[in-house]
Amino acid sequence: MKAITSPGMRLASILSVGLLCALGAFAAPARAAGDLPTITAQSWSFNGPFGTFDRGQLQRGYKVYKEVCAGCHGMKFLHFRNLGEEGGPEFSEAAVKALAAEVEVSDGPNDEGEMFDRAGRPADAFPSPFANAQAARAANNGALPPDLSVMAKARTGGADYLYALLTGYSDPPEGVTVAEGMNYNKAFPGHQIAMAVPLFDDGVEYTDGTAATLDNHAKDVSAFLMWAAEPKLEERLRIGLRFMIYLVLLTGFLYLAKRRVWGSLKH
């Protein structure tokens, strides 16, 4: 005997199948997301609608980057002049020139058609630690150190993730085997990372009286990388606040205008 189905029953059946397919599609990503490390939120001066960067922290963070991270990681989108711009570390003009002059830059060609080396200038970009990607891999057992210019925005969690990564090195749990050339890190997806432990207590000497601890090194360089990824953050927040005030005032004026136009009419 042939079953009798109405158009409504057929539509309900189609919708049910579609719903089951959708739930199945989302189930695997949800399980995968559950395997990701939990990143603890930190207290940052630049968080929230009124956030600002701590100038001293950015200057210390640049020092950590320069003395530790720059040996393997470049920041090709940053120029030395950015270090003196408003909203950033705000080094003095003389300090920016001195920091740029510490590096040697290949320039040219000269009048004889030859390249030459010169001291860096504020307009120069941060130098890359390696001539090319192949050289970088050869020096790091096949691993390619990523550029850090926008790393704080390229990773979920931003500065919180960077801080967790830098402080997440530990011995592997019992039963966990770490591959040769890899290191165990609680914050890194998969927990095995090629980068060796970069920061230690007293690894970078501070000159402003801040304790040179691993925790402070990690926080300072994470804040610096956040600024590098979003150097106009303070300006963006100021513009957003002004726009919100404008919208509130506009709403008030529109309400008063509505009352004036329609208030005298009988409903």
Q: Extract the residue ranges of the chain whose pLDDT is less than 70.
A: 1-36, 267
Strands annotated E in 182-246? 183-184, 192-193
Structure tokens at 209: 């009286």
Identify any residues that bridge with 107 across adjacent strands, giving them in sequence order. 116
Q: Is the pTM of this model over 0.75?
A: yes
- Torsion angle (degrees, nearest 10) of CA 60, 63, 69, 73: 110
The per-residue pLDDT for range 129-141, each reduced to its tens digit, is 999 999 999 999 8
**3-state DSSP assignment of residue 117:** strand
- Sequence letter at residue 157: G
**Residue listed under structure tokens 């004026």:** 253
CA angle 241, 154, 38 (to 5 degrees): 95
Question: Looking at residue 5, what DSSP letter applies?
Answer: -
Measure the CA angle with vertex 145, ends 105 and 45; round to 5°.
90
Task: Report the pLDDT value the prediction gives residue 35, as an integer from 0 to 100.
Answer: 54
